[in-house]
Every structure is written in C-alpha cells, then in structure tokens.
Structure 1
Amino acid sequence: MATIVERLKYRYKNGDVLVKFLFINITVFFILKVIAIFFLLFNLNRVDLISFLGVPSGLSQLLNRFWTPFTYMFVHEQLWHLLFNMLWLYWFGRIFLQYFTGRTLGSLYVLGGLGGAMLYVVAFNTVPYFIVMGDSLMIGASAAVMAVVMGAAFYRPNVRLNLLFIGQVRIVYIAIAVFLIDLFSLGSGVNEGGHVAHIGGAMAGYIFALQYRKGRDITGWVSSLIDGLVNLTKPRKRVKMKVEYRKRETDLDYNERRNSQQAEIDAILDKLKKSGYSNLTPEEKKKLFDASKK
C-alpha cells in the first residue's frame, strides 16, 4: 500500500498540468466519498460538503460562497460523471499540449470553468424558463473540459481521432456534435444548469482558439491570477540579515587609532616632500586625499 501511495505521489509531483488536474479531480471525489461513508456508518448528522463547493444559482448564496466558481470545477458526486469528464480531458488535453504549454492548458481549464459558472448564474437569474426552477446547485468539470475540447478543436480542426465503429473523424466535428447535444438538451428538464454551463465553457474555448489565431491569448490574466495564488501558498524565504556588533571604542583606543593614522599621514607627507606626488602609491594618494577632507 505504501509503495502505491509513493508511486502516486511521484507521478503527481513529476506529471504535467494535465496529470495534476486528473489527480486533483479524482482525489477530491474519493475524499468526499470517504467522508460521506464515515458519516453514514456512524449515524452522524451529515455535513453536506457539496453545498459548500458547488456553485449556487442564487446571488445571495453566491456572495456568501464566493469561492465556489473555482471549487465546483473539481467536484463530482457520481463516478460516471467523473469518469466521463476525465476521459474527455485526457484525450483532448493531450492534443492541446501538442500545441500549447501546460500553463495555457491550466489557465483555459479555469477560464472555461469560470465561463460556465458565469453563464449558469446569469441564465438562472435572467431567463424566465430557468428562474421558475428556483435555486439550484452545480458541480462538475464539464464546463472546464469543454473549454479545452473546443480550444483544441478550433485551433487545429484538421486533427483526427479514431472513434470505435466509425473510424477517423476530425476533432472539430466531434466538438461541434457535443456542443449541439448540449444546446438541443436545453428544455429537456434534465441537468438544465449543467447544459448551460457546458455552453459557457465551450464558448470560452472557442473564443480562446479564435483569438489565439490572431495572436492574442485571453488566458493571460488567468495565468497571472493562478501564479499569484500559488505564490501565496509557497513558504516565504527568510532573508538572513547579518548584524555586526562593534565593540565600543574607549578614549584610549580612540587616541591610539588617531595617533597611528596621524603617524601614517606624516610619513606620506615626508615622502611627498622628498620624492614628489608622482612617486606616491595609489593607496598613499587615497589616504592623503581622505585625510584632507577631515
């Protein structure tokens, strides 16, 4: 068991951003499941952690749980939901990393998640169809994953994937098909908030690809935000200040030092009279110059 844990830790530590996101999502899922099972076995009043991690549609709740637009994109309640999202993230993440850095992948993942959360909250507070549904809660990495899918597909639309029973298909067609499924699923009454968020994430990925082709990276501000958060968690290096303590000089020490310095200056002056200024060494010239300023 210890060996497995060590291997996983090594894999996480040395893995790229894609591997780290997979680990984080899977780890959060299992931690929440273990906590839920613990409360169930001991008949304890269950603390609904999902409600503190998922994005609420109500604005008042959202203001009280302002962190949820970031946390929800790493939270899953059902195993099939987690598995589906992680497979899509892995497949299209690998394609994405052929053309972009891990830093950009991580930033687009977060940007897609934020875009999905924003469209979800806006829709459930402005569109009559969604308003009548009342307050709801959303979790899952689907919006973030959709951003990576659309970003890869529309940046390199001619890349192909081998699909079972179908053969090679351009990834842009796969991305469009998934987007249309979400779009046409609106009004079905099933996972309405999720479909809205998927569309928000897909739009973020599409805009990213479009702008990147024009030489603009819209994930730059997200990268700066992530860097700032990471730096906050890093332990600050203590700057060691060297303090020198000087022994207090007595009158006797002072007089001896002054007499020694004066004797040295007198010797230089004698040499100056006998040999001239040009025969003084640079060090002697400096000492003579310093003495003239006192």
Structure 2
Amino acid sequence: MNRFWEEIKQQFTQGSILTRLIIINLAVFVAINLVHVALFLFTSSAENAAGSMQNIISWLAVPSSVGELTSRPWTVVTYMFLHKDLFHILFNMLWIYWFGRIFLMYLDQKKLLGVYLVGGLSGALLYILAYNAFPAFSDYVPYSIMLGASASVMAVVFAISFYVPDYTLNLLFIGPVKLKYIAVFTIVLDFLMIASSNAGGHISHLGGALFGYLFITQYKKQKDITRWAWGLFYPEKSGTKKKRRNPHMHVSYKKASPKTDMEYNAQKAKERKELDHILDKVSKSGYESLSKKEKEILFKMSNKR
C-alpha cells in the first residue's frame, strides 16, 4: 500500500499538468464519496445522511444565485474539480485525457492549465448569467447548483480542435473523424439539450467551449489571454543581475531573432511527425533499413529527449 501511495505521489510531483489535473479530480471524487459512505454508516437515518451530504456538495458547487455566490465565492474554482457520480467523472477524465494529450503535442503545459481554469470560470459565468437572465430558470435560481469539470474540458476540446482542426481521431464504430467535426457536434448537442433536466450543465459547456475558441483566436494573434491564470502557479522570475562585462573585452555577435510560439510549435509538430515516420520504419524493417540521414535525425532527436 505504501508503494502505491508513493507511486501516486511521484506521478503528481513529476507528472505533467494533465496528470495532475486528473489526479486532483479523482482525489476529490474519492474523498467526497468516502465522506458519503461515512455519513451513511454513522447517521441514524438515510435522509439525514443525504441532507448532510447535500450541504457539503453545496459548499463546494457553484450556485446560480448571486446572493449565495457572494457568501462562498471560492465555488467558482472548486466546482470544476468536484464530481459525485462515477459516470460523470469517468467521461470528463476520458475527454480531458484524450484531448489534453493532443493539446500538449502542440501547446505547452502552462496553457493547458490556463485554458482549464479560465474555461471553467467562463462556464460558471455563463451558467450564472443565463439562470438570472432567462425567465425559464427563475424558479430554480434559489437552489440550483452546478459541479463538474465539463466546462473546463470543453474549453480544452475547443481550443485544440480549432488550433489543429484537421487532426484526425479514429473513433470506435465510426472511423477517422477530424477534431473540428467532433467539436461542432458536441456544441450543437449541448445547445439542443438546454431544455433538458441538466440545463445548467449544458449552458456551462457552451461557456467553456466559447472560451476555448476565443483563446485560440487570440493565441493565433500572439496573445495569451490565460497568462494571468497560469501565472498564479508559474510566476515569472524576476530579472537576474547581469554579469559585469570586462571593459577591455569587446565581443561582437549577431543576436538571433526569437521564434514565435506558433513557429516553435510548428517546428515541434514537424519534428514529431518526422520521428514517428522513422520509428515506424524501424519497427517494420529494422534499424539497418534507415538511411544515413535518418539515422542522424534519430540520434539527434533521442539526445534531445
């Protein structure tokens, strides 16, 4: 058992942001359900246990009532890590794992964290605005709450789907489908499901998706609108003191212009595709089948990694 916890700890401390987000969601899910079991076992009636559990959930889930929100403002963050039902967390974690891995192929971990957090905030904001703006929800505002990572996940899905829209996934029973079609299908489905019993959840999906799309449109203009969010966890280092230059030493050099994020990510994608081709060739025909240039590329790329 100690070894199991050590492995979990190692995955959390040394793993990627994607791994950490999944672990946090799973840990909260397990903790919430352990509390539920304890309440069930040690409370005299099932009704009292259910009431106590609902109070705990309400303390962490985001409310649609602005008055309730002012009394527990932290819920705009805690709700996006909170799940109670098994299938709810299962589907959310599968989606964030699949699309998060593609996201990290083209963008970095800081941006994944930023999109997840700000996407979740956007989902909560649209949920609260919709419930307070539309008459259809007026009767539900006093007691409606929302929980789950769905809005954050949709932000990640839409961000990467519109950054590499033609990236193709092979779906079971369907076959190859481009990311842009998956994104459009999910958002249309969410819009059509607003009239269902989970209206708040589907509205929050729209908020997360809208932010994911907005993030990518701005990122393509060299603007990262999530910098402030991931900056809370990755603060910029203050400038270090420059070394004093010897006045008698004159060095002449030409400073290379730095690559933009898009140029850097494009280069990474090109190198990854080239490496995948070489590795596929090795697996099929062996190392000796490689040309001299391919062997050099493989050697350089392996040293980089």
Counterpart position of 1:222: 229
Structure 1 equivalent of residue 166 of structure 2: 158
Q: Does 1:186 align with 2:182?
A: no
Task: Measure how far apart 1:10 and its partner are.
Answer: 1.2
Structure-2 separation of matches of 1:13 and 1:226: 14
Matched, 1:85 2:92: yes
- Which residue identity is paired with 1:13? T
Q: Helix, strand or coil: the match of 2:79?
A: helix
Residues 162, 216 of structure 2: 8 Å contact kept: yes
Helix, strand or coil for the counterpart of 1:66? coil
The aligned residue for residue 127 of structure 1 is: 134
Show the counterpart of 2:208. Answer: 201
How far residue 7 of structure 1 moved from its aligned partner, in angstroms, is: 1.2
Question: Take 2:113 and 2:7, find their aligned partners in 1: how far apart are those partners?
Answer: 23
The structure with the larger Rg is: 1
Equivalent residues in 2 for 1:1-294 (5 A)? Answer: 1-43=1-43, 46=49, 47=52, 48-135=55-142, 136-188=144-196, 190-227=197-234
Q: What is the deviation of 1:227? A: 4.2
Shift in Å, 1:49 = 1.4
SS in 2 for 1:156: coil
**Aligned AA (1:57):** S
Which residue of structure 1 lines up, in the alignment, with residue 279 of structure 2?
none
Paired with 2:233 and 2:10, the residues of 1 have a C-alpha distance of 23
- Report Cα offsets for 1:184-239 as digits up to 9, x if no partner: 11113x201001100000000010111111211111121223446xx9xxxxxxxx
Return the alpha-carbon distance in structure 1 between the equivalents of residues 234 and 107 of structure 2.
Answer: 18
After superposition, give the CA deviation of every residue in 1:128-152 in whole Å (9 maximum; x if it has no partner).
1222333300000000000000000
Q: What is the DSSP-based 3-state SS (H/G/I as helix, E as strand, rest coil) of the residue aligned with 1:162?
A: strand
CA drift of 1:29 comes to 0.2
**CA shift for structure 1 position 89:** 0.1
Secondary structure (helix, strand or coil) at the match of 1:176 reads helix
Q: Which 5+ residue runs of structure 1 have no aligned equivalent? A: 232-294
Write the distance in 2 (CA, Å) between the matches of 1:7 and 1:114. 31
Q: Counterparts of 2:21 and 2:173 in 1: how far apart (Å)?
A: 30
Q: Which amino acid aligns with 2:31?
A: I
The count of aligned residue pairs is: 228
Q: Provide, for residues 47-103 of structure 1, a one-character-per-residue CA deviation record: whole Å limited to 9, x for no partner.
A: 331111000011111000000000000000100000000000000000000111111
> Aligned equivalents of 1:9 and 1:158: distance in 2?
37
SS at match of 1:98: helix
Letter aligned with residue 16 of structure 1: S
The answer as to whether partners of 2:132 and 2:141 remain within 8 angstroms in 1 is no
Deviates more, 1:105-114 or 1:209-218: 209-218
AA aligned opposite 2:119: G
Q: Distance in 2 between matches of 1:129 and 1:43?
A: 37
Alignment-derived partner of residue 261 in structure 1: none
Identity rate of aligned residues, in percent? 45
The amino acid of 2:34's aligned partner reads V
TM-score, length-scaled by structure 2: 0.72
Alpha-carbon deviations, 1:147-173, whole Å to 9, x = none? 000000001101110101111110110
